[in-house]
Amino acid sequence: MNLYEYQAKDLFRKFAIPVPDGAYFEDSEHLSWNKFPVVVKAQVLTGGRGKAGGIKFANDQMELKEKAREVLGMTIKGLKVKGVLLEEKLNIKKELYVSVTLDRSKRKDLIMASASGGMEIEDVPDSEIEKYWVDPVIGYSGFIGRQIAMKMGLNQDQARQFQDIVQKIYALYESYDCELVEINPLTILTDGRIVAGDAKVVIDSDSLFRHRDIPDNPADRTKLEELAYLRGYSLVELDGNIGVIANGAGLTMATLDGLTLKGLKPRNFLDLGGTDDVEKVVGAFEILKEARITALFINIFGGVTRCDTVAKGIVEAKKRVGFSTPIVVRLSGVNEDVGRQMLKENGIGAYSNMMEAIEELKKVVG
Amino acid sequence: MGIIVGEDTRILVQGITGHQGSFNALQMLKFGSKVVAGTSPGKGGTEVGGIKVYNSVEEAMKEGPNATFISVAAPYVLDAAKEALYNDIDLIYILTEKVPFHDTMKIVNLARSMGKLVLGPNGPGATTPFSCKLGIMPNQIFRKGGIGVISRSGTLTYEIVNLITESGLGESTVVGLGGDPVTGMNFIDALEMFKDDEDTEAVVMVGEIGGTAEEEAAEYIKNKFNKPVVAYITGRSAPPGKRMGHAGAIITRGRGTAESKVKALEEAGVRVGSYPHEVPKLLKEVLG
């Protein structure tokens, strides 16, 4: 789960990582700020807000109010700006980069730093990035920051501040179950101080049970995804018109791929998961009823999820949810014969083979 | 022979009195696995389908388990895995999904430093027909044969194993790595084992978007692997930045796309199917 910059900087303060003076507001009528010049930063969960005009400067109260109102009304890459973070304007001498993240392949924590900050780290040549892999069982130690600072060519005073920051962002990464803590730019000011210009924190959603102080950001999800999320379904919204229900993330993805390869456009990813509950199937129909679909494709390989349960759920849903769009079903695995028979009796076509089912769907939607 | 699990595997089920634990303990027994004990703190002295239940792993060790099936709730997985490691269990399979990855990282790094093997989390386990099933794969989809299967998925694995079986071929061992960003085993770990397994003639890799494990496996196959490999990769139609169900299945910053995986595998001489049902056909071609 991505945090907004203002949330990330609140966490930084908690760990005594230096950040600029700042305040967060969600409407432009009640701004309280008296340090000018000021930077008005759009709070939105996407990159590239600067290029989109989401970062503005103001020199007095009147200008601030005007700029804040402007930014608050913006939509950046389809996302409405949630609020503005006001911050003192920094006198920057140099920009650095530092982050801690997970290296999936090496199964270690990875600290990255560069003397070339301010741009996307992907655009920095590998030779200008210092890397250190930390074994999570052994943990961080002071020499790591020292070693990186020396390789980056920082002077003694800068190195001292930098090491302190690296140690603290690792502590934040570890204690808040982060996937990423990134400071870009990490700014060296003209007065010599090093301060976090930006702050990006991504927390592992599966760990939220032990971080009650972190609010769940529904802004990560679309309206339909939020509806599904609240009811306990794993749904991802796509831009096609064929509704999809399948079981298991891998099979659901394979279903989307199969449809796409045959020229059909899926509306969604919906993984029913391992369930033996008729109501779970009915609930999926209720959600997809809100999704403006022209046909529904159901692909089940029965194991824990039995085919007869799914068939029962489909019949039940058709009655209760009032589903009028055409439905094509593929049922295979545990109790498939009973399931297909049940559907047939209720006038719903069912196949044992996924490809045959997709061909039938193609005919149905023309 | 097969890999990871076999005749010698003696299974302990941690969390055996839970819904998942008890159901799967009995399914494993039915398959022919040796399920020797279970644990459930406070329920020691009871039984689940004839399997003795103990209060702790330490007590259960008298039944001689060397592998464990962990199906406790996500917040308690780290504790359960440490309990198994402290008692010198060699193979730790974690069924539980939504385990915080920082916990998984600790488990995996600890286990590696102790020379132990971790399978999962959030995967279907490993099955060697018909000597041992450690996990939750459906019992009825297997036939004994020469195909090793490695997959990051669950249901899709069953679909593909079922297709292999229906085509008349059979499996040496089916390995479910798990759908999380960090798992105990990756493709290369399993390939290294299949390389030396006499029963395995060819390998099927079922990969998905996210991470670079398939690309790294392709490099390994090109340089060090000695048997034919067939692959299927899901997530070709997935948009960047959206997690497709599995925590690990996400395209971030342009990395982990299906295209890059297919390309790397094909360059390593791997035949990659566009649909699951092409896998058996490709297998027959590579086996001649």
Instruction: Considering only the beta carbons, identify the residue of A102, A250, A253 that sits closest to B181.
Output: A102
Q: Which chain B residues touch A229 with a CB distance below 8 Å?
A: none
Q: Do B105 and A107 touch (CB under 8 A)?
A: yes
Instruction: Considering only the beta carbons, identify the residue of A122, A207, A252 that sits closest to B100.
Output: A207
Its domain, for residue B147, covers 137-287
Domain end point (choices A162, A185, A210): A210
In a domain, A3, yes or no: no
Query: ipTM score here?
Result: 0.93
Residues A137 and A176 in one domain: yes
Report the mean per-residue pLDDT for chain A: 94
In a domain, B259, yes or no: yes
State if pTM tops 0.90. Answer: yes
3-state secondary structure of B144: strand
- Residue pLDDT, tens place only, B26-60: 999 999 999 999 999 999 999 999 999 999 999 99
Residues A235 and A327 in one domain: yes
Share of chain B above pLDDT 70, in %: 100
Residues B240 and B152 in one domain: yes
CB B71 within 8 A of CB B15: yes
In a domain, A261, yes or no: yes
In a domain, B130, yes or no: no
In this complex, how many residue pairs, one in chain A and one in chain B, have their CB atoms less than 8 Å apart? 158
Q: Do B154 and A248 touch (CB under 8 A)?
A: yes
Its domain, for residue A164, covers 92-210
Q: Do B100 and A107 touch (CB under 8 A)?
A: no
Residues A239 and A355 in one domain: yes
How big is the CA angle at A46 (ends A40 and A48), to the nearest 5 degrees?
A: 65
In a domain, A275, yes or no: yes
Residues B153 and B29 in one domain: no
Q: Which chain A residues touch B182 with a CB distance below 8 Å?
A: 102, 104, 107
pLDDT at A219: 67
Residues B142 and B269 in one domain: yes
Residue B82, H or E segment: helix B77-86
Q: Do B138 and A353 touch (CB under 8 A)?
A: no
In a domain, A186, yes or no: yes
Phi and psi (nearest 5°) for A276? -130, 40
Domain end point (choices B119, B145, B180): B119
- Residue pLDDT, tens place only, B71-111: 999 999 999 999 999 999 999 999 999 999 999 999 999 99
Q: Which chain A residues touch B208 with a CB distance below 8 Å?
A: 250, 253
Residue B81, H or E segment: helix B77-86
Q: What is the mean pLDDT of residues B259-286?
A: 97
Chain A nearest C-alpha distance from B249 (Å): 9
Q: What is the mean pLDDT of residues A343-361?
A: 93
Residues B34 and B173 in one domain: no
Length, in residues, of chain A:
366
Interface membership of A101 toward B (CB under 8 Å): no
Residues B264 and B170 in one domain: yes
Domain end point (choices A71, A88, A105): A88
Strand partners, A102: A109
**Sheet of A55-58, strand order:** A22-25, A83-88, A38-43, A55-58
Residues B142 and B273 in one domain: yes
Confidence of residue A121 (pLDDT cuts 50, 70, 90): confident
Instruction: Considering only the beta carbons, identify the residue of A104, A122, A266 that sits closest to B181.
Output: A104
Chain B nearest C-alpha distance from A124 (Å): 14
If one counts the domains in chain B, the total is 2
Q: What is the mean pLDDT of residues A282-294?
A: 94
pLDDT at B254: 76
Q: Do A254 and B109 touch (CB under 8 A)?
A: no
d(CA B214, CA B58): 38
In a domain, B5, yes or no: no
Q: Do B101 and A206 touch (CB under 8 A)?
A: yes
Strand partners, A236: A269
Residues A188 and A141 in one domain: yes
In a domain, A203, yes or no: yes
Q: Give the residue from chain B lying closest to A108, CA to CA.
A: B105
Highest mean pLDDT among A324-328, A349-353, B72-76: B72-76
Q: Which residue has the tokens 């001498």?
A: A93
**CATH number of the domain to which B69 belongs:** 3.40.50.720
Residues A206 and A244 in one domain: no
Q: Do A252 and B152 touch (CB under 8 A)?
A: no
Strand A200-203 versus strand A178-189 pairing type: antiparallel
